[in-house]
Amino acid sequence: MKKTLLTVVAALAILGLSFGVTTASADEQATGVQITRVDYNVKGVDTAANAYQEAVQIKNTGTEDASLSGWSLEDSTGHTYRFPRGYTLKSGAYVYVRTGKNPAPTHGWWSDPAVNLYWNRTSHMYGNAADSVTLLRADDTRADRVAWSDFTIRP
């Protein structure tokens, strides 16, 4: 069954069909810094209390540490998050850029800036039905982009 599903997905990709998600070109992925996950539709009703669950995971798949100083994330309506000055993503590491506020400011993992950065917005930002998020380098060239158009809820 799994092999059949993969064959169908590959055939649809050859035909130029997608499932609502796009990936960056080879040029865009040259730095090794990529969007690897977008949690855009959290369980339940969107509230300020659960906005931190909405997140974009960025991973450095490159062999060298990457400075994200001056880099930004932008959705299709222009909402923009700017990475902190001096922020470096280690080789092989990932970071979540979370829309809301830190739910546990004094508790370990949630407070580790190597793993979680917070936008501190009081409302959700990404469209549940359709939207996109673009990762831009400091010079505003595109490093990666992911788009979706479905009602998938993450587990």
Higher pLDDT, 78 or 23: 78
Instruction: Encode pLDDT of 71-121 as tens digits.
Output: 999 989 899 999 999 999 999 999 999 988 888 776 666 777 778 898 888
Quote the pLDDT of residue 60. Answer: 96
Higher pLDDT, 9 or 147: 147
Return the domain boundaries, the chain: 20-148
Confidence of residue 64 (pLDDT cuts 50, 70, 90): very high
CATH topology of domain 20-148: Immunoglobulin-like (2.60.40)
Query: Taking the CB of residue 133, how many other CB atoms lie within 10 A of it?
Result: 23
CB 59 within 8 A of CB 97: no
129 CB-contact burial (10 Å; exposed 0-12 / middle 13-18 / buried 19+) = exposed
Quote the pLDDT of residue 48. Answer: 85
Which of these ranges, 30-34, 60-64, 89-93, has the smallest mean pLDDT?
30-34
Quote the pLDDT of residue 80. Answer: 93
